Structure 1
């Protein structure tokens, strides 16, 4: 697998002349730990991180060029994902800009790397568990497994009305096509 297959795009980025306050707001608003800094030709010249923003202090005075981390490590679109993961772990990087001919085309984050390790059914099951925990107040009442969009939910149900509610709640989760309620733990 290659970087271009898992990278996030389009890329939220800033320029060296972006005010620190604006760049920090972008980090917070998008939930990013870091984002690339580019020049006029859209070439990566640095990275602006949460740590860089914290170094600015509460005044947030200045521009990104005054606080960004530079030089920055980049990877090419055809970089092997396992190599990218080792690079990120070894250098304790939260994200790595992806370039083509030196121009920013994407970003590989830790989350992008983790996404490839789980199936979409795993993600759906996690969201469904969260919905059921919100409903019941306990994450241990039902066991959940999802296979090809079919949610298998087992555990103790108060009555038939609760079974119907649980089945309806399950179908509100994106990706659940059908819900099956079982009296024993799914295999």
Structure 2
């Protein structure tokens, strides 16, 4: 989470907001009132319907001209941030987990989530923060020993993909795991390899599964 959050007032100008976003390389700004309460978000998307960009940009959201839609006219012509921003905001508490925030971003198609405490913004989590978590996360410790790897792969296939242990044969020899049997789709075949690699490491899986119906989703050069 970024604790030093750049905010803007609903009474500030749109051009000032755009300059802040450019100068600080931000894709959005929290909008706070005089008491510090979060009242909305101004994003790059909100500025894509500006009159400065031409009439086509103003019609892009609903296909109507500003004369036909007063809301489009306001979004495109008002100089006030409060008129152009998206009112309200999707927020999380300070104790929200990373997986919850990531799921929220995905479900709402948003790039940042303000963190609030008692109505006041105390930080903001961006997609960049989520990427940093991925980069710094410690990978699962690979299982060691052929029998241990076999049991771990079977358990992972069951827990993560719901595949019964009798549906896929797993063999382990010399640190290499082989998957054999039949699955219903290429996606399932690919997912099985991914699950097995999560246990024993990339490049240590021979995917010999056959696809009963559908197309194999393995990309050229993938482990087989």
What's the secondary structure of 2:52's corresponding residue?
coil
Counterparts of 2:116 and 2:136 in 1: how far apart (Å)? 27
How many residues matched?
A: 114
Deviations 1:35-63 (A, max 9, x none): 10001111110000011122223187511
Counterparts of 1:57 and 1:32 in 2: how far apart (Å)? 22
What's the secondary structure of 1:37's corresponding residue?
strand
Pick from 42, 47, 50: which aligns with 1:56? 50
Counterparts of 2:10 and 2:16 in 1: how far apart (Å)? 12
Larger radius of gyration: 2
Counterparts of 1:16 and 1:56 in 2: how far apart (Å)? 17
CA RMSD between the two structures: 1.7
User: Mind listing any 5+ residue stretches in structure 1 that lack a counterpart?
Assistant: 1-6, 121-187
User: Mind listing any 5+ residue stretches in structure 2 that lack a counterpart?
Assistant: 54-76, 138-224
Residue matched to 2:125:
108
Runs of 4+ aligned residues of structure 1 deviating over 3 Å after TM superposition are none
1:33 aligns with 2:31: no
TM-score by length of 1: 0.58
Q: Which structure has the higher relative contact order (CA within 8 Å, separation 6+)?
A: 1
What's the secondary structure of 1:58's corresponding residue?
helix
Residue matched to 1:119:
136
Residue matched to 1:80:
97
Residue pair 1:8, 1:106 contacting (<8 A) in 2 also:
yes
Pick from 19, 41, 46: which aligns with 1:47? 41
Superposed counterparts of 1:172-187, under 5 Å: none
